[in-house]
Amino acid sequence: MTTTTPGNAAHDATPDTPARAPAPVGPLATSAFVRACRREPVPHTPVWFMRQAGRSLPEYRQLRSGIGMLESCRRPDLVAEITMQPVRRHGVDAAILFSDIVVPVAAAGVELDIVAGTGPVIAEPVRSAADVGRLRRITPDDVGFVDEAVRLLVAALGETPLIGFAGAPFTLASYLVEGGPSRTHGRTKALMYGDPQTWHALCARLAEITLEFLRVQVTAGVAAVQLFDSWAGTLSEADYRRHVLPHSTAVLHGLADAGVPRIHFGVGTAELLKAMGEAGADVVGVDWRTPLDIATARIGPDRAVQGNLDPCLLLAPWPVVRTEVRRVLADGLAAPGHVFNLGHGVLPETDPDVLTRVVELVHETSQR
Ligand code: CP3
């Protein structure tokens, strides 16, 4: 493996192989983040944090005070500012668009709210074929505010890549069917097992909505996308393959020509890592339960990995954090590409200074 020094990184774009999607042009093609996603040599392991744009930052809480979550997601100026906050503060290698997984279903006309401390709450849960029939597709005009926010951000971020995202069909379906967050996903699974035809119709429509939402973000200039299937880990591999994989594949394969790396992430997915890679991911996100070397052995050599420090570890004393960050980096050396992240989102009670120190430590320790 050749190495790239920080000094010449910008001049070291490797020509694309025919098997891969076309490379993004300009400085984004050579960012450490995009290079790691593409399994190319990097000057250092890139790092960002899921939920970095959010409640662990006092400047975020201040900006959001008195403004509802959905309203914030629909105001491009606020979205841009909140997305930039962790980039300025921590020096992370990528920004993630401030939004939420339910934004595109709200744009499709589903009445919902995002309740602080609870999450998305749906006024009329989707539980029958007739309910699914009422769920319409979206057009780019329905999410014009996202297009505008991404364009503002791409201009403001310069060489820092912006990650777009969406929720995967299963996780979105679980909110729509349950009406809100659920521990067991009981009603969701009851629909999946009991009325597979309605289930597949629901997931197929959600896949269309998600794909359109991601296409808007890609057209506006995001450098990568992450498909969050946060709750897929509640399924066995057989059920995942039968009831979920075709729909996640429709989304990820639908972006194969987009030229941006596709990251696919879920929690508790140790048994699903291979299948989630097969859905069409360039990078598989791994939670803290599976060490990255073991994850890579399961996923195979054709995909990079992202993860996987336990977010709770950031609440422990610094020497403990330091040891674990180094362990994650060492485990990640077994992967053909590694993007450092947490195994799930930043907890609101995390000290932001610890996040900044983790970024510095990852960069120092992984310097090639
Ligand atoms: O990662 C980032 O920093 C970008 C922003 C982002 C948010 N939600 C902002 C948010 C992203 C990527 C998401 C995705 C999301 N939303 C997921 C997938 C990721 C995951 O955590 O598994 C899921 C399952 C949701 C649904 C959702 N929205 C939940 C469970 C919650 C938390 C409820 C709470 O308040 O504790 C939300 C609300 C939400 N989304 C907040 C933020 C910053 C908190 C709202 C607030 O600040 O009032």
Whether 67 has a pLDDT exceeding 60, the answer reads yes
What DSSP string describes 28-85? GGGSHHHHHHTT---SS--B--TT-SSTT-HHHHHHHTTS-HHHHHT-HHHHHHHHHH
- CA 163 to centroid of ligand 1, rounded, Å: 15
pLDDT digits (tens, 9 = 90+) for 264-284: 999 999 999 999 999 999 999
Residue ranges of E strands in 170-275: 224-228, 262-265
Residues with catalytic function: 51, 55, 64, 100, 175
pLDDT score of 136 more than 70: yes
Ligand 1 nearest-atom number relative to CA 52: 3
* Percentage of the chain exceeding pLDDT 90: 91
- Atom 38, ligand 1: which residue's CA is nearest? 119
Is pLDDT of 17 > 60? no
- Any bridge partners for residue 308, and if so which? 341
What dihedral angle (degrees, nearest 10) is formed by the CA atoms of 256, 260, 261, 266?
-80
- Pick the residue whose CA is nearest to atom 20 on ligand 1: 230
158 Rama sector, left if φ>0, alpha if ψ -120 to 50, beta otherwise: left
26: its two tokens: 């300009």
Per-residue pLDDT, 26:
52
Range with lowest mean pLDDT among 114-118, 218-222, 234-238, 245-249: 114-118
Res. 6: pLDDT tops 80: no
- pLDDT of 29 reads 59
**Does position 107 have pLDDT exceeding 50, yes or no?**
yes
Dist. CA 41 → ligand 1 center (Å):
32
Compute the distance from residue 169 Cα to the ligand 1 centre, in Å. Answer: 16
pLDDT of residue 155: 98
Residue whose Cα lies nearest atom 32 of ligand 1: it is 119
Give residue 281's pLDDT: 98
Q: Which of the four pLDDT bands, split at 50, 70 and 90, describes residue 30?
A: confident
Q: Does the pLDDT at position 217 exceed 80?
A: yes
pLDDT of residue 36: 98
Atom number of ligand 1 nearest to Cα 230 = 22
Percent of the chain at pLDDT exceeding 70? 92
Report the mean per-residue pLDDT for the chain.
Answer: 93
Is the pLDDT score of 194 beyond 70?
Answer: yes
CA–CA gap between residue 123 and residue 118 (Å, rounded): 14
Ligand 1: centre distance to CA 100 (Å): 6
d(CA 28, CA 24): 7
In this model, does residue 54 exceed pLDDT 80? yes
Instruction: Give the pocket of ligand 1 (CB within 6 Å).
Output: 50-55, 64, 69, 96, 98-101, 114, 116-120, 165, 171, 181, 228, 230, 345
pLDDT, tens digit, 9 for 90 and up, residues 284-328: 999 999 999 999 999 999 999 999 999 999 999 999 999 999 999
Cα–chain-centroid distance for residue 10? 25
